């Protein structure tokens, strides 16, 4: 049972990368087949730059996530966690949305590429909510003042209820 976590991480990463490779190959093949058979006027000028981010992200995931095996066949490096929160999760969202746009463009036509605009909008929304959350978190570090700048309203709800009932007021030291 030595290195059980390393082995399970390596197996999980291999499974995720193989699945994403097959899905990506299938979607891109579908696009090109339908483009050649049904509508040769579909634009490669849109396809190439709009599918490039998902392809680059997948190459990046292959580089950081694919396990490395030694000469004996034992996993030496499991690779980075491909199910991590934060940037990795956002990158998977970009890949999934790109696949959806490619599949939609293959079936419905080139106008579906306009849905790709959602990615920058989603990124801006994530950045704004992250910034707003950090701003709110930093507001608690201002020394316990309320909106008007007067001290006294800091503390838990329980403390505020006790003070409201007439219990002894809690004094905060500076």
Per residue in 88-104, pLDDT (tens digit) is 998 999 999 899 989 88
Of residues 88, 91, 85, the one with CA closest to residue 119:
91
Whether residue 90 contacts residue 123, with contact meaning beta carbons closer than 8 Å, is answered with yes
Cβ–Cβ contacts within 10 Å for residue 123, how many?
13
Backbone angles phi, psi at 119, to 5 degrees: -60, -50
Separation CA 35–CA 98 (nearest Å): 17
Question: Is the Cα dihedral 29, 33, 35, 38 positive or negative?
Answer: negative
Tell me the pLDDT tens digit for each residue of 136-170: 777 766 655 444 444 555 567 887 787 777 766 65
pLDDT band at 133 (very low <50, low <70, confident <90, very high): confident
d(CA 110, CA 95): 19
For the whole prediction, is pTM greater than 0.85?
no
Token code pair at residue 97: 């949305």
More confident residue, 133 or 121: 121
Q: How far is CA 71 from the centre of its chain?
A: 35
- pLDDT tier for residue 58 given thresholds of 50, 70 and 90: very high
Distance separating alpha carbons of residues 103 and 101, to the nearest angstrom: 5
Which residue is associated with the tokens 């390393």? 6
């Amino acid at each position: 049972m030595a290195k059980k976590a390393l082995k399970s991480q390596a197996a999980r990463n291999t499974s995720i990368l193989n699945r994403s490779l097959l899905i990506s190959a299938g979607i891109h093949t579908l696009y090109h087949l339908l483009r050649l058979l049904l509508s040769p006027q579909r634009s490669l000028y849109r396809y190439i730059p709009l599918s490039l981010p998902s392809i680059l992200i997948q190459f990046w995931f292959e580089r950081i996530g694919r396990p490395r095996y030694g000469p004996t066949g034992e996993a030496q490096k499991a690779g980075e966690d491909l199910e991590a929160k934060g940037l990795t999760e956002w990158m998977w969202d970009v890949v999934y949305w790109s696949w959806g746009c490619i599949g939609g463009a293959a079936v419905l036509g080139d106008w579906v590429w306009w849905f790709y605009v959602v990615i920058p909008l989603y990124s801006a929304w994530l950045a704004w909510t992250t910034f707003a959350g950090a701003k709110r978190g930093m507001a608690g570090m201002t020394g316990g003042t309320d909106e008007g700048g007067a001290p006294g309203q800091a503390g838990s709800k329980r403390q505020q209820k006790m003070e409201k009932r007439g219990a002894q007021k809690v004094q905060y030291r500076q």
